[in-house]
Amino acid sequence: MRRSLTSLVRPPAVARGFSTSSDKIAASVLFERLPVVVPKLDPAVYAFQEFSFRWRQRYRRKYPDEFLDMSKSRGKGDYQIDYVPAPRITEADETNDRKSLQRALDRRLYLLLYGNSNEAPSGKPVWHFPEKVYDSEETLRKCAESALESVLGDLSHTYFVGNAPMGHMVIQQTEDAPEPCKRFFFKSQVIDTDKFNIRKCEDFVWVTKDEVLEYFPEQAEFLKKIIIS
């Protein structure tokens, strides 16, 4: 008996996509500058380190006096220099210049833009992250790269962390946003620069996590979970 060939026929290929619904899809970028200096220690951590140091000093191995005298007799080499730490508080901190990357050196800074947003198509400018509505890009990561490139001009001083989004949220239909939107967040980091030529926006700021929440009070709970201090 001949075997039926019906089960061997493959269904026609389906065009690649990210959603079968009519919801709009957008990619947003959390563009961050990592801390430049070591953050100040928490008092509890400092107390523990102080205790650990004193404990090690008390029970440390004792070396012969001859060995210690030999180490003191060494001459000073050219490798020894006087170290003067740079100030932790900069001029941008004192003037609260949020356009500068030279502020909050012990914290992460995030780029926010002020202008037209896909979340508010009514034309009213709002604060938002770099973003782009998914169109025909190969992946959402490519869409996120395009969003950041349109703001910076190029991606030579950026590094995208991973290919998958770090989180997503659904923007419900409102008066300002008549069309629902699924927004996917990608992380990118500043590499080897302290200044960008930000464009295609009316204004911009570099702000810490706590300051970001001030700009988005309605989304604060969600942003607390995905943004690192």
Identify the pLDDT of residue 229.
77
pLDDT exceeds cutoff 80 at 23? no
Concatenate the DSSP letters of all residues of 90-149 into one string: -HHHHHT-TT-SSS-TTS-EEEEEEE-BTTBTTS--EEE-SEEE--S-SSHHHHHHHHHH
Give pLDDT tens digits for 197-216. 999 999 999 999 999 999 99
Span between the terminal Cα atoms of the chain, in Å: 70
Backbone angles phi, psi at 217, to 5 degrees: -65, -30
Percent of the chain exceeding pLDDT 70 equals 79
Backbone angles phi, psi at 182, to 5 degrees: -100, 120
Identify the pLDDT of residue 104.
95
pLDDT exceeds cutoff 50 at 12? no
Instruction: Give the predicted TM-score (pTM) of the model.
Output: 0.77
Residues in the chain: 229
Q: Which of 125, 137, 107 lies closest to 212 in space, CA to CA?
A: 107
* Residue 78, token pair as written in the block: 């050219």
Give pLDDT tens digits for 116-162. 887 666 678 999 999 999 998 999 999 999 999 999 999 999 999 99
CA distances from 48 to 55, 60, 66, 228 (A): 10, 18, 33, 24
Mean pLDDT within 168-195: 85
Backbone angles phi, psi at 172, to 5 degrees: -75, 160
Identify the pLDDT of residue 121.
60
Identify the pLDDT of residue 39.
83
Identify the pLDDT of residue 78.
55
Task: Report strand pairing: 131-133 vs 109-115.
Answer: unpaired
